Amino acid sequence: MGQYLNWKTYLVIIALFIVGASLFYTSQLAQKLAIEEKKKVLQLVDGIKTIDKSVNGQEIAFASTVVTQNTTIPLIITDENGVILNFINIDTTQSGNPTRLVQEKLAVYRADHAPIISDFGNGKSYVYYGESYLLTQLRYFPYVQLAIILLFLFVLLVAISSAHRSIQNQVWVGLSKETAHQLGTPLSSIEAWLELLKEHEVNDEAVLEMGKDLDRLKLVADRFSKVGSAPQLEEENIVPRLDSMVNYMQKRAPHKVKITLYSAESDVPVYMSGPLFDWVIENLIRNALDAMAGKGTIDITVTNTPQQVWVDIQDNGKGIPRHQVKKIFNPGFTTKKRGWGLGLSLSRRIIEKYHHGSLFVKHSEPGKGTTFRIILRR
């Protein structure tokens, strides 16, 4: 269970615990205050009854004091037929229709509390009461607190995520440029040795293949040097570029793996940085090869739409477990025994940041394979 939890989850759990404890404590306070307010209402009813029935001046004076001191709890007094006789602590000055306002309050009070029945007046009277403003505030306070905590968590998570992405970007850029720099010296040396071999007329075929691999290494170094700086996008037909990558990777794939390109159109123009786009395709194909046991198929399908171009890379390898799908693009996440787990992360960065497109797992099922989709917008 612990592998599915991270610091964000624990932060949310702590916040929910605080809100839950606050809700419980506030609910207890509200219940106690409601009991106290009901006691006050009973005292008010007794006071009104005393004023109505008593002839003792002192009792009437005391009851009047009790009644006049109630400035918070709203009351509505009706007769047996529901006709409103009087109301207390209900502000009707701001209402265009005071009678309707009191009727609406009466309906609310009837739903909230059972009436207190008394016999003052000319018969039985029913006293309906509501909650004081303080009690109402107390009931709504936890929800206000919850909203504030959720807003705070949202801002905190956004700030931390932004800082985290900024650090990742700096690491990616620094690592890429340092890699390109470190490759520069041995590549220059190898190129010089290769020229020397050509002069001595050593095995021409071997020298030719070494030259191709040297050019490939230069391309890799060039790709790393471009990470961190905005590349120049140029309109290019994506089909021959993909076909070139398929041929290149097919020669380096196991004999029992077949890589096939499908495209209904031979000319699909897209604005792209060719070397960086090739890097993405190479990463996805290599991942597909790693997911196979030395045999299977990799199908690359190009779909041309008026607004977008879709490139699907589908393999029939081991697939990705559902709980790992969202993690595979995180820097450093890898299921391999070797590697730094930066390939997919850099690939998504290249597509999303430089090409303003999308790269995601369209479908994956353990034991049946995975499909990655690249969306390039025109």
With contact defined as beta carbons under 8 Å apart, do 41 and 74 qualify?
Answer: no
Within a domain: residue 223? no
* Residue 348 near residue 293 (C-beta atoms within 8 A): no
State the Cα–Cα distance between residues 90 and 41, nearest whole angstrom. 15
Residue 147 lies in a domain: yes
- Asked if residue 236 and residue 123 are part of one domain, the reply reads no
Answer yes or no: do 185 and 255 share one domain. no
Our count of domains for the chain comes to 3
- Residue 104 counted as domain residue: yes
Q: What is the dihedral of CA 155, 158, 159, 164, to 10 degrees?
A: 160
Q: State which of 98, 131, 164 marks the end of a domain.
A: 131
What residue type is assigned to position 272 of the chain?
A: M
Confirm whether 225 is domain-assigned.
no
Cα–Cα distance, 223 to 179 (Å, whole number): 10
198 and 256 belong to one structural domain: no
Judgement on whether residues 347 and 254 belong to the same structural domain of the protein: yes
My answer on whether 312 and 355 are in the same domain is yes
Supply the pTM of this predicted model.
0.51
Same domain? 183 vs 255: no
- Where helices occur in the chain by DSSP H, the ranges are 7-53, 57-69, 98-112, 133-199, 204-226, 238-252, 274-290, 322-325, 343-349
Identify whether 306 is part of a domain.
yes
Distance separating alpha carbons of residues 37 and 138, to the nearest angstrom: 13
Residue that terminates a domain, selected from 208, 223, 257 = 208
Q: Could you tell me if 57 and 148 lie in one domain?
A: no
Whether residue 238 sits in one domain with residue 148 = no
Q: What are the structure tokens assigned to 73, written together?
A: 């709890």
| DSSP letters spanning 43-107 | HHHHHHHHHHH---HHHHHHHHHHHHH--SS-EEEEETT--EEEEES---TT-S-HHHHHHHHHH
| Pair (150, 250) in one structural domain | no
Are residues 107 and 194 located together in one domain of the fold?
no
Of 92, 192, 74, 207, the closest CA to residue 131 belongs to 74
143 in the same domain as 123: no
Secondary structure element (H or E) that encloses residue 269, with its range: strand 269-272
Which residue matches tokens 């106290």?
36
Same domain membership, residue 125 and residue 19:
yes
Report CA Rg, the chain: 38
- The HSE-up count of residue 311 (CA atoms within 13 Å, CB side) is 25
Q: Is residue 222 part of a domain?
A: no
User: Of 74, 96, 131, which residue constitutes the final position of a domain?
Assistant: 131
198 occurs within a structural domain: yes
CATH number of domain containing 334: 3.30.565.10
pLDDT digit string (tens) for the chain, length 378 residues? 444 456 667 777 887 788 788 778 888 888 888 888 788 877 777 777 776 666 566 555 655 666 666 677 888 888 878 788 778 888 877 777 888 888 888 888 888 888 888 776 667 878 888 887 778 787 787 778 778 878 887 888 788 777 777 776 676 667 666 676 677 767 777 777 777 777 776 667 777 777 777 777 777 777 677 666 667 889 999 999 999 999 989 988 999 999 999 999 999 999 998 888 998 999 999 989 988 888 999 999 999 998 999 999 999 999 888 888 888 887 766 766 555 567 788 888 889 988 999 999 999 999 899 999 999 987
129 with 87: CB under 8 angstroms? no
Tell me whether residue 146 is in a domain: yes
Look up the domain containing 175 and give its range: 138-208
Residue 2 DSSP class? G
